[in-house]
A and B are shown apart, each in its own frame.
Chain A
Amino acid sequence: MRLSTSGRKHYIATEFEPSKEITGGSWYVNGDLDTTFIDQIKALCLDIIRKLKVAKVATADGVYDFFKANRLTNTECTSQQVSEILRSMVLDNMIIDVKSARLGEYHSIHVGQVCYKCPPGDLNKGPKTGALISISYRIFPRIKECTSDGLISPTTCVYYTKWLDFR
């Protein structure tokens, strides 16, 4: 079932295999996103980048070569697929992308080529929590309704009382 015309049925003889454009691409199985496979590839990519001892940065080709050389998955994974996964991991803030200037740790990578590395700090922490979330939304889930003269107010709010209750 093609993504762009989802809902429209296509009929095909059993001896033929539908093309990837019809089935929805290499990430789809029976019309659904193969999240298990995607998560598996993501975990492997993160592991490869984390364990880089010398360079600490990797290009998409470098990660793909590592996949191929070590046969890390049962299903064949293309260079294009690895690039897509790495881009998605950047959006998840699991890794960061930088362009090489062929200086320092990028000395072996061509100028302008996109590389990937782990963000600094504790990798298990996840994306940084902003001030508004850490001070307000996390402690006061109903902050939007909290007003100085309303039913819920900072002076009567039970969440404030709980937060400031030192033992």
Chain B
Amino acid sequence: MLSPHGLKLAAHIISTYFGDIVCKVCECLLRRGPLSQLEVTRFTELTKQKVTDALLVLIHHNCVQAFTIQQPGGFGEPPKIMTKYMALPDNIIHHMRFPKFLSIVSDEFGQDCAEIFEGLLQHGRLSLNQTMDRYKDKHKASGENSSATNVVHENFSKLAQARYIERCPAHEPFLEPLEEGAKKRAKSKIADATQTLEARALAAAAPMESQRFLVEADTLIGGVLDDEDSKKSSITDIVGEKRKLEAETESWETNERKEILWRVNFEEFIRRLRHKSCVSHVTERVDSVAGIVLSAIFEASRKDETRVKTEKTVPLLLETIYEEAMKTEEGRSLTLERVRAALVQLGCELPTIGIDETYSIDLKKIIYQAQAQEVESIVLKKYGREAYRIFRLLSERERRIETDKISSTTFVEKKDALKILFQLWKDDYLNLERVGNEAQKMEIMLWDLNKRSVWEQVLDDMYHAALNLKLRLVHELDHAQDLLRVLKGKSLKEGDEAAKMRKKVQDKWKVLEASFMILDDAIMLFHDF
């Protein structure tokens, strides 16, 4: 669930990409949770056709997932099958990171691959044939069509092997009704019940892991599945009609020509960016060797990582880490002993027996340190140096501490410490517990960090700042376009003015975009990592 400003940012992104009508439908789903088409029509007060078209656009661009569930009928009536739609806020926010994803692909695989990947970013979903057609269209003039098939196949396979692209999930999976016991447990926590429904829908839609990145089967008969008997509906069908209870045998999406559709696998990019963030933080906080060693661990364990927010790296032998580190230019001069020392600096404990030394890095701790650094920076700016010391003490100790102890450890006068603590408590940074002592008529105040509240506040502020940057970007562009329209077709002198104006707008755009990218790294640190 996104915070208030996160929702506004998501709505702004949809509005920029797809227009106001699609934005209205998407915002309705973001604010109200999974809804049927009828409910969306009622809440948005749009026509049925407009809602249908908007939903199709959102599904095609991976911003909404449809699913069917069985709902109990009224008195004496049989159960009803209903299609519901749920917004995917994370995927919507990922749209603003497309330049980063493109840059990763371009750096790793080159321009041809980046071009093919860009098509998937622009269009949301494409089959291999559609990718081929797009590539051929683009390179028609240069006469490269003869080699286009090989180029596209090769690069498409590279992207799939690296898990940067995946087969699209099923467009409308059926969720089996929950058993009675599970239903009661779900009802007892309403907020969790919605989460469970959404998680179940995503899990049901996802293709099997063994098929998810498989390109070979997709290339049979030029990318078309050999299924002549199928009369299954395609993505362009009007949604919301009753579905047959017999589930489709395929667990991935196809288009009207029965070609398998592919999309960007956001999960893999977030994993890579998480690794990059951890390496950067460790390099800055410890030293460059620790960064090289951590980077080597990530490379060596890439295929074994099962989820994005993994708490620890996969345990690896010291020799494996060393061999991986040696592959890089910076790591060639390292010795085994230096690698071992770097692992200890990264928080690993040396094994007592030197046989089969395996090491695993606590990534959760590294991410927490990076997040804490961001929050401490805010505390320092807003409340001053003494508050910064107090905040760091409470953040590091992770337990309740008495006022006197805080005052003596941080060398802050008790009355000043109390003032600061109360200010932080008022702003929801800290928890306060008063412990009374009747005999001595004394009250002891215990303080600890209100981590959840602070982290949520900071993330919401980041979304707010990102939205403001986006709005300003749009404003600057609109303003420049108006001025350029006025200057168009004027005399030579005014043509120079137009050129100066364009340069000024480009410079402003670069500053705003660069600032946005830095802020987005921080947003990912708090939300995605």
Contact = CB atoms under 8 A, between A and B. Distances in A.
Contact of B465 (A106, A143, A153, A163): A143
Given A88-B410, A164-B508, A132 B471 contact: no
Contacts of A29: none
B345 A154 contact: no
Nearest to A121: B284
B86 interface: no
A138 interface: yes
Interface string B386-418: 001100110010000000100111111110000
Contacts of A144: 461
Contact of B471 (A33, A128, A129, A155): A155
A27 interface: yes
Nearest to B281: A128
Contact of B377 (A119, A128, A163): A128
Interface stretch (A45-53, A63-71, A72-80, A96-104): A96-104
Given A132-B458, A143-B465, A104 B286 contact: no
Interface string B280-310: 0000111100000000000000000000000
B329 interface: no
Contacts of A133: 377-378, 381
A33 to B, nearest CB: 5
A104 B338 contact: yes
A130 B472 contact: no
Contact of B511 (A25, A119, A157, A164): A164
B464 interface: yes
Contact of A166 (B410, B508, B522): B508
B521 interface: yes
B428 to A, nearest CB: 14
Interface in A106-159: 106, 111, 119-121, 127-138, 140, 143-144, 146, 148, 153-155, 157
Contacts of A21: none
Nearest to A130: B377
Given A160-B472, A164-B511, A135 B410 contact: no
A134 B517 CA distance: 13
Contacts of B389: 88, 91-92
Given A132-B374, A135-B515, A103 B340 contact: yes
A143 B468 contact: yes
A22 interface: no
Interface string A19-35: 00000010100001101
A103 B337 contact: yes
A6 interface: yes
Contacts of B458: 132
A130 B341 contact: no
Nearest to A126: B380
Contacts of A14: none
Contact of B408 (A25, A106, A160): A25
A43 interface: no
Interface residues of A, number: 50
Best-surrounded residue of B287, B377, B508 (most CB of chain A within 10 A): B377
B393 A155 contact: no
B187 interface: no
A138 B381 contact: yes
Contact of B461 (A101, A120, A136, A166): A136
A92 to B, nearest CB: 6
B413 A98 contact: no
Nearest to A93: B392
Contacts of B519: 131-132, 135-136
Interface SS, A side: loop
Contacts of A121: 284
Interface in B415-470: 458, 461-462, 464-465, 467-469
A154 B464 CA distance: 11
A166 B504 contact: yes
A119 B461 CA distance: 29
Given A91-B392, A92-B389, A155-B472, A130 B507 contact: no
Contacts of B350: 101, 111
Contact of B374 (A91, A106, A131, A157): A131
Contacts of A160: 472
Given A136-B465, A137-B382, A138-B381, A131 B475 contact: no
Nearest to A92: B389
A33 B493 CA distance: 69
B287 A120 contact: yes
Nearest to B385: A92
A39 to B, nearest CB: 9
A154 B468 contact: yes
Nearest to A112: B349
B219 to A, nearest CB: 43
Contacts of A154: 468-469, 471-472, 475
A55 interface: no
28 contacts: A3-B408, A33-B413, A88-B411, A91-B393, A91-B409, A92-B385, A98-B345, A103-B340, A106-B341, A119-B285, A120-B285, A130-B375, A131-B462, A132-B374, A132-B378, A133-B377, A133-B381, A136-B465, A136-B519, A138-B381, A146-B468, A148-B467, A154-B468, A154-B472, A163-B511, A164-B472, A164-B476, A166-B507
Given A4-B404, A131-B522, 7 more contacts: A91-B392, A92-B389, A130-B376, A130-B377, A144-B461, A163-B511, A164-B512
Interface of A: 3-4, 6, 25, 27, 32-33, 35, 38, 84, 87-88, 91-93, 96, 98, 101, 103-104, 106, 111, 119-121, 127-138, 140, 143-144, 146, 148, 153-155, 157, 160, 163-164, 166
Interface of B: 8, 284-287, 337-338, 340-341, 344-345, 350, 373-378, 380-382, 385, 388-389, 392-393, 396, 404, 407-414, 458, 461-462, 464-465, 467-469, 471-472, 475-476, 504, 507-508, 511-512, 515, 518-519, 521-522
